[in-house]
Amino acid sequence: MKGNRAVLTAVVVVIVLVAGWWLFRRGGSGEAVDLMQRFDTTQRRPSPETFQVVDATLNGETKKAIFTTQAGRIIWKVRIPDDAWLRVTVGTQPDSWTKEGDGMLFMVGVSDGRAFEELFTQHVNPYGNQGDRRWIPVVVDLSSYAGEDVELIFNTYHSAKGQGDDHRNDAALWGAPEIFVR
């Protein structure tokens, strides 16, 4: 009987140690990541000057945002916390809403150095669709990358896929991007 207790105790200790190691190995912290605060450390293509940080107001709601009139890419190198989600809003500057053009395509993806995964795409065309004359909220689950160092990549394109390359009145906004923990 005493031998069985010793074996059971040893098994429980091993399980607790393995569980602790696994949680530590995943490594994600439980803290939010304010991507705006890390904007100065990003890679920006075609050049850093392509993007500006602005206070943008859409339909009375003001957010700190990243503004561009160009097709481009912003890359954050970040460790993804456990139970992490990406939250960002997308839109276009109000002065572009009533001017001809076909809007812009927003796309976010993740690269772990081996592969790229597209997480979402959103075509915003306030000239052709009055429902796009606002901040459009986007929330994406990042938990499958918990504990990993990845590149979080924001892309803007001049037009929706397969629709040419219309540059007219493009004025993209990425509003208040952050990684938060649920």
Cα→Cα distances 54→65, 67, 78, Å = 5, 7, 23
Cα 34 from Cα 42, distance rounded (Å): 13
Cα 36 from Cα 18, distance rounded (Å): 37
Cα→Cα distances 24→11, 27, 145, Å = 20, 5, 15
Which residues lie across from 138 on neighbouring strands? 88
- pLDDT at res. 161: 74
How confident is the prediction along the chain (182 residues), in pLDDT tens digits per residue?
566 666 555 554 445 444 443 444 444 446 789 999 999 999 999 999 999 999 999 999 999 999 999 999 999 999 999 999 999 999 999 999 999 988 999 999 999 888 999 999 999 999 999 999 999 999 999 999 999 999 999 999 987 776 677 778 889 999 999 999 98
CB atoms within 10 A of CB 174: 27
- Contact call for residues 73 and 143 (beta carbons, < 8 A): no
If residue 101 lies in a helix (H) or strand (E), which one and from where to where?
none
Q: And the tokens for 38?
A: 């890390």
Q: Assign domain 31-181 to a CATH class.
A: mainly beta
Nearest to 29 by CA among 81, 64, 67: 81
* Predicted confidence (pLDDT) per residue in 106-140, tens digit: 999 999 888 999 999 999 999 999 999 999 999 99
